[in-house]
């Protein structure tokens, strides 16, 4: 009794918990409330939450307190806490928050650089105008830059040593005489963690060091309450806690602040430091902070891992050989501002460049464009050019200089030019520099020229038509004759150039306008990521990303959450992508209930660092036409720091709006309402709740693509295209951030958080892209491409494409429909192009896949952003006539069977472009057509498949002991049934003509290998609720079984039926919630098996993952055919892009290798499924002791016949969800990486695992941290499901479609 009562209490509590969840889950779960609070951001509550967090930070959050009056979070008297809280209140009101004594530069938030030059646009130092024009006409590639005469690339091998901390760096390693012969070599650019030093760390929500700003040190030990891997039982991913820092313990293998020491020798080109020329050393990206020395002289310091640091090193260079050294700290106070959701990786991860300028040189220039007043008219281009000249002992007065600007069209023809004389130049400052309070500007002359050019017959830039001009700016020195200037000018060699586009961006009337046209953002968030090199991305990888985005109909990218590699923006200009350029700022670790707070933003000590990150990004990227908005960063709260950033941006660039989500997504810092993961109804409400607010709604992140995800995307896109104030968004995110790693077996795999022993970590939360690390697209990419297609088609009097493809008006017949004068409705969703450049073909298909008629639809008359109606009869064949023609052909057995038919439109590119070849498909639409009033009912003249033609008087039955029942049918079909045990009443195996078809099942299945979305939501996740209810371990209750019955079924068939109950672990305890199942097999004389399953689940169970049957087929049956949706993976809530038809694949390719194995490879709405042997397979029948068939016949004259296949046929009016692959459900569930899955499968028996589901739950994807599968795609319990399928053996030559049609034609074969 003592053993039973706790167990009963446990089951009772499970049932109560599920009942509680079913009531409270939709509105009151912790994660749901926290997220909705953040999303909707009640204006009075957001600052209050921020204030409370700031007030209590030192008391409860700071892990290693240093201030004398600060109580530890783990102790201290109540009185001390109270006194300190009062002190914090006073500090908050008086804006005198406690600060720490300034330490080293990397622990001082007021220092973000030393001797670092002001931010500016990329400079190339061309030697003349022809060189500049050729450089950009050849594409401006990064490899071309290294070949410019005035540029020296300092990449490749550097000497390297990793120290435990800055204090442990070798003494004087930056001196040229230091002996580094024993040092290693490392590639530059690279992250040292990807080169075998230290370890990568992945976190999303937490800092990888204890909170003690501005200090960032890993001194201590991390521990976690959740040590299970993400796929093991109970190892559900946690986003809200679990990691703790123990600063009293030490880990001898943990480096406190890993510090990379770099050294390199280079030869300075001849003449670079002569005649007053200036030489600059440029680091495009170093993580996270570094010092630099040249020839033993310290030239500067910098932090901000994603923006350039440039130093004037002229005074430190010598002719011939020179020496450069850097000291890179992994952690700095800047790390507190870089808590983005990606890998923490360190080192010199972007290019290092040395370039030379003339004594009087162009230091920066800014381009602004104004649209023509009328189409085809002239456009105005304004160029603000800054000229610098160093003050030296030889230069006491500024040199007279003339500045010229030239504009060339795409063909290289000059279309505009203007010159500024010395008198036109005005004095100016040297450029704004933030976070360098102790630097003194070197003496220099700073002048500027404001030039205005008129471009005739201007062509505008857009993502659809990315037309680019080339702007060249240069300095000219006047020729002198005595004291009088001549009219002849001599080029002074300093030439700069960039590509520019003419376009405008504005916000009004709740819309974002480009060139005066409202657009929809078809966007994606992108990290710089390479699986081999981490943040060191190649130009080839960036180009691959851009081309894939264009091919899959994306038109925008958000550089989440930092400025990307500078070359990426060139590619976006060239190929046509709108860019949301985001500052390198995120402080997610200072959060309260998933709400990022502005704890650091409100501290004046950090103000300069905030402004610097915004200003230097704009200063670098402002000439890129592709950038249509600036972002202040991500998940950093909204405080005075963000307000200062917004103020600077608006004052210095009036041509672009601002974007910022944190702080409620509608703060004064943003010109766009930009929520993340808002549901469709929330977006629609946001768009209308304040009629006076002119801002549109554009989701900065939506549809979290973590593993098998992105369900219900079609609802978002229906909203985007129907609600003008909700203008799209950016998918999260582009690439799975897996890093290359090697398993103990030697096999390579893609690693995620924790795989490198990194603590803390957020496990696989970095694996949420729509492409794999190698840029192979996920199946969800097909859904996105379809929903973002540039042209759509509808046919009047049919339902709009809503995923059901049903016919309107009560299944209107063909004759009635054709008499209603149907129209083809064509919608051009492009904003700036007609459809002239596209070609649309149509085809009418039979459900067998046979082409009945095809042609071309001429659409050249469809202007941008318009809808036109084309008469059916003028463009497509008369379907009544075509139906008669098809029936006549069928009478002559010249066509395949026909039950339904479809109209498909496919739109391709006529002529190849920079991003695709000719005939690349950009859109497809499938429409189900009405059928004739009497249907396509003419009997087929095709022969009856041999597998169905054999008849006999009876079915032979044998009993093999007490456990097995064997059945033999005419024609060589054999099968055996379990009579006892947990699989009672199901097939042991099934064979035909001496070959094994089935190795087990079909048997009931209600579980699936949990997806990442299934795990999301802590204790309220679907996975947690399933496990709590025992769904994952349902077994037959042994002592309550009814016996297997054998009766005579229809047409003398043998009927075998069983009634059973399935509960967690097969428990027979009273009150345990379970599922009742009835299985009925009708075995016909020709070997065909009709299986009917009736199931009823207790209403105390949570919604189920699936209701279906699973079976193990012979490993020989590799080839797969099906009629249903395909060809790619699709689920009930992600199937808009799939088309009905006859599809083919194989058991290997139907598996989708998500980095964290889970449910995958499903195909929805399937009418029949056929498995066949590969043509080159041996087809041997494996014999398993105790389960083999008896008296196997010799056929075809004693020779074993060709291996049979298996047909699974679904009754008329029903469809199934199917999957076929080599991996079992158990192996998928127990593996946390693909290599583990492959190893587990290799240890199995080689069977092909097939699932045929009556219903299968959707995959969800609105986010991955709350249970969010939409209600219509859930499987609620308390219902009864009844469905059936037919199993039939097939010969190699049998036509699966014809077999299925005949099986459907009658109640029995």
Catalytic residues, by residue number, are 635, 701
CA–CA distance, 707 with 764 (Å, rounded to integer): 9
Nearest to 496 by CA among 254, 135, 980, 17: 135
Look up tokens 């401006």; give the residue: 140
CA–CA distance, 912 with 910 (Å, rounded to integer): 7
Look up tokens 């009864």; give the residue: 1280
What is the crossing angle of helices 680-688 and 713-722, to 10°?
A: 20
CA–CA distance, 1126 with 1129 (Å, rounded to integer): 7
Nearest to 1277 by CA among 1259, 1257, 1260: 1257
Please list the residues that pair with 827 across neighbouring strands. 792, 867
763, two tokens: 């496990």
Nearest to 336 by CA among 304, 300, 308, 291: 304
Our measurement of the distance from residue 499's CA atom to the centroid of its chain's CA atoms, rounded to an integer in Å, reads 30
CA–CA distance, 1154 with 1159 (Å, rounded to integer): 9
Look up tokens 């992140």; give the residue: 701
Rg of the chain over all Cα atoms, to the nearest angstrom: 35
Give kind and range of the element (H or E) at residue 817: helix 814-818
* Count of C-beta atoms within a 10 Å radius of residue 1201: 17
Look up tokens 């609070």; give the residue: 37
Look up tokens 């999301």; give the residue: 1016
Nearest to 485 by CA among 417, 422, 418, 398: 422
* Count of C-beta atoms within a 10 Å radius of residue 1195: 14
Whole-angstrom CA distances from 1111 to 555, 1174, 1237, 1287, 1304 are 44, 19, 19, 11, 22
* Count of C-beta atoms within a 10 Å radius of residue 631: 28
Give kind and range of the element (H or E) at residue 46: helix 45-56
Q: If you ran DSSP here, which 8-state letter would residue 339 be given?
A: -
CA–CA distance, 640 with 644 (Å, rounded to integer): 6
**The Cα angle at residue 793 between residues 792 and 799, in degrees rounded to 5:** 120
What is the crossing angle of helices 566-575 and 539-551, to 10°?
A: 30
* Count of C-beta atoms within a 10 Å radius of residue 517: 15
Look up tokens 């795989």; give the residue: 755
User: What's the per-residue H, E or C state across 634-681?
Assistant: CCCCCCHHHHHHHHHHHHHCCCCCEECCCCCCCCCCCCCECCECCCHH
Strand, coil or helix: what is 784? helix
- DSSP letters, 512-546, are EEETTEE--EEEEE----BTTTBT---HHHHHHHH
Nearest to 216 by CA among 108, 374, 77, 120: 108
Nearest to 967 by CA among 1285, 1200, 1048, 959: 959
What is the crossing angle of helices 780-787 and 713-722, to 10°?
A: 20
Nearest to 709 by CA among 1010, 456, 1076: 1010
CA–CA distance, 415 with 31 (Å, rounded to integer): 59
């Amino acid at each position: 009794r003592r053993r039973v009562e706790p167990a009963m209490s446990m089951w009772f509590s499970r049932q109560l918990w599920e009942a509680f969840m079913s009531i409270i889950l939709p509105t009151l779960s912790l994660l749901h409330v926290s997220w909705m609070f953040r999303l909707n951001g009640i204006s009075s509550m957001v600052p209050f939450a921020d204030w409370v967090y700031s007030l209590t930070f030192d008391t409860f959050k700071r892990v290693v307190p240093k201030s004398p009056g600060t109580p530890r979070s783990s102790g201290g008297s109540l009185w001390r806490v109270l006194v300190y809280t009062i002190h914090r209140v006073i500090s908050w009101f008086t804006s005198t928050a406690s600060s720490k004594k300034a330490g080293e530069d990397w622990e001082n938030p007021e220092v973000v650089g030393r001797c670092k030059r002001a931010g500016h646009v990329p400079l190339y130092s061309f030697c003349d105008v022809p060189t500049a024009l050729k450089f950009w006409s050849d594409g401006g590639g990064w490899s071309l830059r290294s070949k410019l005469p005035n540029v020296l690339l300092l990449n490749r091998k550097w000497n390297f040593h990793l120290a435990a901390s800055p204090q442990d760096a070798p003494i004087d390693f930056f001196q040229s005489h230091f002996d580094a012969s024993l040092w290693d070599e490392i590639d530059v650019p690279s992250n040292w963690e990807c080169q075998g030093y230290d370890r990568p760390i992945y976190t999303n929500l937490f800092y990888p060091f204890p909170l003690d700003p501005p200090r960032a040190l890993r001194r201590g030990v991390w521990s976690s309450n959740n040590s299970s891997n993400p796929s093991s039982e109970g190892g559900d991913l946690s986003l809200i806690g679990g990691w703790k820092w123990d600063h009293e313990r030490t880990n001898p293998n943990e480096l406190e602040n890993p510090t990379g020491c770099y050294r390199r020798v280079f030869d300075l080109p001849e003449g670079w430091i002569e005649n007053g020329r200036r030489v600059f050393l440029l680091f495009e990206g170093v993580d996270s902070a570094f010092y630099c020395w040249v020839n033993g002289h310290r030239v500067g310091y910098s932090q901000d891992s994603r923006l350039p640091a440039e130093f004037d090193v002229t005074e430190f260079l010598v002719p011939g050989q020179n020496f450069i050294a850097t000291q890179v700290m992994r952690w700095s106070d800047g790390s507190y501002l870089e808590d983005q959701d990606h890998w923490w990786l360190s080192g010199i991860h972007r290019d290092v460049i040395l370039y030379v300028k003339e004594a009087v040189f162009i230091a920066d220039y800014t381009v602004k464009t104004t649209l023509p007043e009328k189409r085809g008219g002239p456009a105005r281009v304004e160029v603000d050019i800054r000229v610098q000249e160093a003050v030296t002992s030889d230069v006491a007065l500024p040199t007279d200089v003339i500045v010229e600007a030239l504009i060339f069209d795409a063909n290289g023809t000059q279309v505009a030019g203007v010159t500024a004389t010395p008198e036109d130049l005005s004095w100016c400052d040297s450029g704004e520099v933030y976070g360098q309070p102790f630097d003194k500007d070197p003496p220099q002359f700073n002048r500027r020229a404001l030039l205005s050019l008129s471009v005739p017959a201007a062509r505008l830039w857009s993502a659809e038509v990315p037309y680019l001009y080339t702007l060249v700016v240069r300095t000219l020195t006047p020729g002198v004759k005595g004291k009088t200037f001549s009219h002849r000018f001599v080029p002074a060699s300093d030439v700069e150039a960039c590509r520019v586009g003419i376009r405008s961006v504005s916000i009004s009337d709740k819309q974002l306008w480009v060139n005066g046209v409202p657009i929809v953002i078809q966007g994606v968030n992108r990290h710089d990521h390479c699986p081999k090199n981490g943040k060191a991305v190649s130009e080839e990888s960036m180009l691959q990303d851009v081309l894939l985005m264009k091919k899959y109909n994306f038109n925008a990218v958000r550089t989440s959450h930092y400025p990307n590699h500078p070359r990426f923006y060139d590619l976006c200009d060239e190929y046509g992508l709108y860019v949301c350029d985001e500052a390198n700022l995120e402080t997610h670790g200072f959060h309260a209930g998933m709400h990022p707070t502005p704890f650091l933003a409100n501290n004046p000590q950090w103000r300069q660092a905030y402004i610097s990150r915004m200003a230097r990004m704009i200063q670098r990227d402002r000439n890129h036409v592709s950038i249509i908005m600036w972002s202040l960063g991500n998940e950093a709260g909204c405080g005075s720091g963000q307000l200062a950033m917004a103020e600077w941006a608006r004052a210095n660039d009036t041509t672009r709006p601002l974007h910022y989500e944190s702080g409620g997504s509608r703060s004064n810092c943003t010109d766009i309402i930009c929520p993340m993961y808002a549901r469709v109804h929330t977006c629609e409400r946001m768009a209308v709740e304040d009629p006076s607010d002119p801002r549109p709604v554009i989701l900065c992140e939506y549809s979290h693509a973590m593993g098998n995800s992105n369900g219900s995307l079609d609802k978002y896109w229906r909203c985007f295209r129907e609600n003008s104030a909700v203008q799209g968004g950016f998918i999260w995110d582009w690439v799975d951030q897996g890093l290359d790693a090697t398993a103990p077996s030697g096999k390579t795999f893609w690693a995620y958080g924790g795989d490198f022993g990194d603590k803390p970590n957020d496990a696989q939360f970095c694996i949420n892209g729509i492409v794999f690390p190698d840029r192979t697209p996920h199946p969800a990419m097909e859904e996105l491409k379809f929903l973002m297609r540039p042209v759509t088609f509808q046919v009047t009097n049919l339902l709009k494409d809503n995923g059901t493809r049903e016919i309107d008006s009560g299944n209107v017949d063909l004759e009635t429909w054709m008499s209603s004068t149907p129209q083809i409705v064509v919608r051009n969703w492009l904003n700036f192009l007609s459809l002239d450049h596209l070609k649309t073909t149509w085809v009418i298909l039979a459900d067998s896949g046979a082409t009945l008629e095809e042609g071309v639809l001429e659409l050249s008359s469809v202007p941008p952003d318009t809808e036109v109606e084309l008469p059916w009869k003028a463009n497509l064949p008369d379907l009544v006539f075509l139906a008669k023609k098809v029936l006549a052909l069928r009478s002559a057995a010249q066509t395949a069977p026909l039950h339904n038919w479809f109209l498909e439109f496919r739109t391709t590119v006529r002529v190849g472009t920079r991003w695709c070849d000719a005939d690349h498909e950009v859109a497809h639409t499938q429409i189900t057509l009405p059928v004739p009033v009497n249907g396509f009912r003419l009997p087929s003249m095709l022969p009856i498949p041999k597998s169905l033609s054999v008849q006999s008087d009876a079915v032979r039955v044998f009993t093999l002991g007490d456990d097995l029942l064997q059945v033999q049918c005419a024609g060589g079909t054999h099968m055996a049934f379990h009579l006892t045990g947990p699989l009672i009443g199901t097939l042991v195996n099934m064979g035909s003509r001496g070959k094994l078809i089935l190795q087990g099942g079909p048997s009931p299945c209600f579980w699936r290998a949990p997806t990442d979305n299934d795990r999301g939501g802590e204790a309220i996740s679907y996975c947690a609720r399933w496990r709590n209810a025992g769904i994952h371990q349902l077994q037959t209750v042994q002592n309550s079984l009814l016996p297997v019955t054998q009766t005579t079924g229809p047409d003398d068939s043998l009927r075998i039926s069983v009634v059973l109950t399935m509960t967690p672990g097969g428990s027979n305890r009273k009150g345990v919630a379970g599922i009742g199942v009835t299985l009925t097999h009708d075995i016909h004389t020709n070997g065909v098996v009709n299986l009917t399953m009736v199931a009823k689940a207790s209403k105390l169970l949570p919604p189920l993952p699936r209701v279906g049957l699973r079976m193990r087929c012979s490993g020989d049956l590799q080839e797969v055919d099906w009629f249903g949706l395909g060809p790619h993976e699709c689920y009930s809530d992600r199937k808009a892009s799939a088309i009905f038809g006859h599809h083919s694949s194989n058991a290997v390719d139907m598996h989708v290798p998500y980095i964290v194995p889970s449910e995958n490879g499903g195909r929805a709405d399937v009418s029949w499924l056929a498995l066949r042997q590969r043509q080159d397979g041996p087809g041997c029948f494996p014999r398993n002791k105790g389960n083999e068939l008896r008296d196997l016949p010799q056929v075809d004259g004693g020779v074993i016949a060709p291996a049979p296949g298996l047909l699974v046929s679904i009754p008329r009016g029903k469809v199934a969800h199917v999957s076929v692959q080599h991996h079992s459900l158990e192996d998928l569930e127990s593996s946390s990486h693909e290599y583990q899955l492959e190893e587990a499968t290799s240890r199995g028996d080689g069977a092909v695992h097939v699932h045929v589901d009556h219903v299968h739950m959707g995959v969800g994807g609105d986010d991955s941290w709350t249970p969010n599968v939409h209600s219509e795609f859930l499987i609620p319990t308390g219902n009864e499901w009844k469905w059936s399928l037919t199993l039939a053996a097939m010969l190699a030559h049998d036509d699966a479609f014809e077999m299925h049609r005949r099986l459907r034609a009658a109640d029995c074969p």
